[in-house]
């Protein structure tokens, strides 16, 4: 019985176009975009944002996710000076948030892959990984990097580009299911209703040039600093000249949408959460 259930689940999951999203405590749309249901086999938050109006891409309003918060009191915990681990998957089914983690593997798609997983042989053109094309990538080295940003507003409707600051990036992700992000020690505590966080990714190549912005209710634990985070300003491309990097709190990257673009890289350069844009792990 379990085997056949698992098989039909896999079939369902395979039918859906897969990308990568984070399944973790505090997330919006954990069970899909219908607040009356708790779908264990959903990829609502995983689907990318492309060519949308600002009001639609902002916290996945296009699919209603900004209106489906986590249960009261559930937060993603961000330990100041520590780290936190989340699951990057193609579908909730492949995370430990579904089916007691029975379909979860070391990889985002619930399958097994070699450590040096790459698409160089299967895609002679761009070298993209095909079966997990959702990763938008050739191999780990080409993974552009993902990030987290925080706003000290508890109410998601009060979050702006300026009060949402990137606080952690992880180079060469998304890659495996588990991703561990370091947290700066100087993060102050959140207001009683918590903070609002966003998970962020701008892939490069291997499919539609989209972006990802996913909403979470979060709170900073073990905070000792009381200094507020400065207003965030757009990042700048500084690969060849570190003096050109934006100093201090940086905004998320808004890219390949109909509205809201905040970065202006040289021709042919795709913006990303990595050193070329002033971010270090
Ligand atoms: C990135 O992918 C290209 C092929 O598109 C490959 O030649 C290159 O070695 C990869 N880079 C890294 C750092 O692995």
Give pLDDT tens digits for 171-225: 999 999 999 999 999 999 999 999 999 999 999 988 889 999 999 999 999 999 9
List the residue whose alpha carbon is closest to atom 4 of ligand 1.
127
Ligand 1, pocket residues at CB < 6 Å: 127, 138-139, 141-142
% of the chain at pLDDT higher than 90: 86
Q: Which of 115, 121, 141, 172 has most ligand 1 atoms within 8 Å of CB, for mutation? A: 141
- pLDDT given at position 15: 40
> Integer distance in angstroms from the first to the last C-alpha of the chain?
45
Find the angle CA(30)-CA(252)-CA(62) to the nearest 5 degrees: 45
Residue 271 and residue 255: Cα distance in Å, rounded?
Answer: 8
The mean pLDDT of 260-280, rounded to a whole number, is 96
Q: What token pair was written down for 128?
A: 């993209």
- DSSP letter at 222 equals S
Give pLDDT tens digits for 76-103: 999 999 999 999 999 999 999 999 999 9
Give pLDDT tens digits for 41-70: 999 999 999 999 999 999 999 999 999 999
Does the structure show a pLDDT above 90 at 135? no
- Phi-psi bin for 64: left (phi > 0), alpha (psi -120 to 50), beta? left
- pLDDT given at position 13: 44
Does the structure show a pLDDT above 50 at 2? no
Give pLDDT tens digits for 139-153: 999 999 999 999 999
> Could you tell me the pLDDT band of residue 3, with boundaries at 50, 70 and 90?
very low
Atom of ligand 1 nearest to the CA of 205: 5
- pLDDT given at position 6: 53
- Give CA separation, 198 vs 88, 150, 178, 187, in Å: 14, 7, 17, 16
> Could you tell me the pLDDT band of residue 154, with boundaries at 50, 70 and 90?
very high
Phi first, then psi: give them for residue 277, nearest 5 degrees. Answer: -115, 20
- pLDDT given at position 281: 81
List the residue whose alpha carbon is closest to atom 10 of ligand 1.
142
Give pLDDT tens digits for 228-242: 999 999 999 999 999
Residue 276 and residue 280: Cα distance in Å, rounded?
Answer: 9
Give pLDDT tens digits for 108-121: 999 999 999 999 98
- pLDDT given at position 68: 98
Place of tokens 């202006």: 264
Ligand 1 midpoint to CA 171 (Å): 15
Ligand 1 midpoint to CA 229 (Å): 36
Residue 275 and residue 281: Cα distance in Å, rounded?
Answer: 8
Atom of ligand 1 nearest to the CA of 140: 14
């Amino acid at each position: 019985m379990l085997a056949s259930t698992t098989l039909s689940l896999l079939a369902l999951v395979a039918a859906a176009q897969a990308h990568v999203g984070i399944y973790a405590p505090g997330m919006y749309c954990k069970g899909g975009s219908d607040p009356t249901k708790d779908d264990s086999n959903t990829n609502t938050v995983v689907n990318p944002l492309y060519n949308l109006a600002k009001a639609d891409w902002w916290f996945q309003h296009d699919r209603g996710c900004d209106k489906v918060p986590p249960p009261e009191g559930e937060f993603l915990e961000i330990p100041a000076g520590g780290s936190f681990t989340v699951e990057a998957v193609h579908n909730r089914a492949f995370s430990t948030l579904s089916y007691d983690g029975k379909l979860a593997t070391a990889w985002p798609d619930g399958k097994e892959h070699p450590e040096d997983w790459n698409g160089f042989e299967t895609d002679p053109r761009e070298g993209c990984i095909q079966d997990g094309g959702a990763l938008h990538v050739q191999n780990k080295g080409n993974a552009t990097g993902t990030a987290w940003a925080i706003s000290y507003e508890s109410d998601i409707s009060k979050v702006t580009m300026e009060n949402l600051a990137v606080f952690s990036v992880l180079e060469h992700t998304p890659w495996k299911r588990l991703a561990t992000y370091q947290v700066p020690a100087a993060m102050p505590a959140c207001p009683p209703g918590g903070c609002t966080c966003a998970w962020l990714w701008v892939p490069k190549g291997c499919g539609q040039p989209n972006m990802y912005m996913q909403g979470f209710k979060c709170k900073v634990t073990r905070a000792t600093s009381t200094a507020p985070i400065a207003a965030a300003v757009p990042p700048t491309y500084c690969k060849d000249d570190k003096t050109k990097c934006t100093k201090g709190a940086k905004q998320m990257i808004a890219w390949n949408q109909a509205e809201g673009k905040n970065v202006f890289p040289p021709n042919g350069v795709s913006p990303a959460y990595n050193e070329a844009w002033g971010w270090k792990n």
